[in-house]
Structure 1
Amino acid sequence: MQVLQLQMAVQPDPAEVGRARSWARKRLRGCGYDPDAPLCETLVLVVSELVTNAVVHTGCPAVLRLVFPVGAADGPAVRVEVADASDAPPERRPAEGEALGGRGLELVDCLCDRWGWYPDGSGKRVWCEIDREAPAVPVAPDGRVQALAV
C-alpha cells in the first residue's frame, strides 16, 4: 500500500494550534478530500487536540504528520501523528464542570478508531487513526457540529 506523508514543524506557542488546523485543512483539500465532510472535520479537530497537548504540556517543538493512504476511497485509515521531545506519556486529565481544558484525549478516544503513543528517540509520538468509511463527528442538518458525550 502506498501512503502520502505530509508534515509540518510546530513551535511551542499556542498560536501554532490555529496554524496547524489551517495547514491540515489545506492538505486535506490538496489530497482530494472534501474539507466540509465529517471525516475532515474530525481530522482537523483531532489535529487541534494533539497539537494543543504538545504545545501546552511539553513546551517543546513538535512535528505534526498526516498520513493518507493512496488508492481506493474505501481503503485504510487516515493517521495523525504528533512527535515531541518530551518523554512524559500523554495523560488523561479529569475535566470538572466548566473547565476549559482536560478533555483532549477523551475527544481523541471518542472520535478515533485507534490511538496510542510510543517512545520516539528522546521523546514520544502520539498517534491516532480514523477509518475512512467510519462515521465521524456528528453534524446537524444546519451544518453545526453536534455535542459529543465525553
Structure 2
Amino acid sequence: MTAADRSPMIRVAVAHFPPTVAAVPEVRARTAGTLIGWSVDTDAVSTVELVVGELASNAVKVSRPQDVVAVRLTATSGQVVVEVWDSSDVGPRIGSPEAFSEDGRGLVLVDALCSTWSWYRVKSGGKVVWGEIRAELQPMQPGTEAGRLEQRTAQPTPDPIRPVTFEENPALLRRVVDGLRALDDWHLPGARAAPPRTPPPATAVGQPTRTAARRA
C-alpha cells in the first residue's frame, strides 16, 4: 500500500489486488503493516485485519477473474475506516449460516467487530462495503513522511438568499452522504489516495447502518 497522508492525523492508503483467494492473506498482512506504520494501537490493528479479510473475501467471491478489487484505509484519531470496492452491484446480506457451515459468517463477524458498517453503489460501477473500527492513533513523529492540506485563502461569499437551516431528516441525510461518497473514484487504478469526500454517517445521521444493511 502507498500512503498519501493529508494531515498529521488523517492517514490514507489504497491498494488494488486480483480477485483470488490467495490474495486475501496478502491484503491482511499489508493492512496490518500499514496500520502499524501509522502507530495504530495493536488491538485495533488485529480487528481491522479481521474485518478487511472478511470484506476482501466477500469481494473476491462476487468478482470475475478479470476484475480488480480495491481497498482503502483511512485512519484518524479515534477510528479506522475500511472500504472495499468490487465490480458487483449486488448489495451484501447478513445471512443465517448453518451451525457447521463455513460460509455466510463474514458479515456477521463484520457486524460484531465494527462500531458501524454499511455499503453504497458507486457512480462508475460496482459497490463499496465499509466498516468503522474504533482505534487510537498516535501523532506522527517529526521527520516521518506526511503531506499536509493545502492552505487556501478565504474568498468573499454572497449573503444567502434564504435562511440557513440544518436538516434533521436521517433518511435524507443518509441519501445525500451516500450520493457524495459514490462520486469518489478512489477505487480506480491510478487514482490518487485521498481521504473520503464525506465521512461515514455518524450519530447525526441516526446510524441506521446495521438494520439498513440487513434489509439491503
TM-score scaled by structure 1?
0.78
**Which structure 2 residues correspond to residues 63-74 of structure 1 after superposition, within 5 A?**
63-69=70-76
Distance 2:46 2:26 in 1: 15
* Displacement after TM superposition at 1:31 (Å): 0.8
Query: How many Å separate the matches in 2 of 1:50 and 1:10?
Result: 13
Distance of 1:126 and 1:10 partners within structure 2: 16
**Corresponding residue for 1:105?**
107
State the identity %.
37
Counterpart check, 1:33 vs 2:40 = yes
For residue 131 of structure 1, give the secondary structure of its aligned residue in structure 2: strand
Query: Alpha-carbon deviation of 1:76?
Result: 3.2
TM-score by structure 2 length?
0.55
Q: CA-atom RMSD, angstroms?
A: 1.6
Structure 2 counterpart of 1:24: 31
Structure 1 unaligned runs (5+)?
70-74, 134-150
For residue 5 of structure 1, what is the amino acid of its counterpart?
V
Distance 1:122 1:87 in 2: 7
Residue in structure 1 matched with residue 89 of structure 2 by the alignment: 87
Which of 46, 53, 60 is the equivalent residue of 1:55?
Answer: 60
| Structure having the larger proportion of residues in strand | 1
Aligned pairs, number: 126
Spell out, residue by residue over 1:48-89, the C-alpha distance to the aligned partner (whole angstroms, 9 max, x if none). Answer: 0000000012333210111011xxxxx332100001111111
Moved over 3 A (4+): none
The structure with the larger Rg is: 2
What does residue 15 of structure 1 align with?
Answer: 22
Work out whether residues 71 and 84 of structure 2, in 8 Å CA contact, stay in contact via their aligned partners in 1. Answer: yes
Flag structure 2 segments of 5+ consecutive residues without an equivalent. 1-5, 137-216
Aligned to 1:132: 135
Task: Give the C-alpha shift of residue 126 in structure 1.
Answer: 0.5
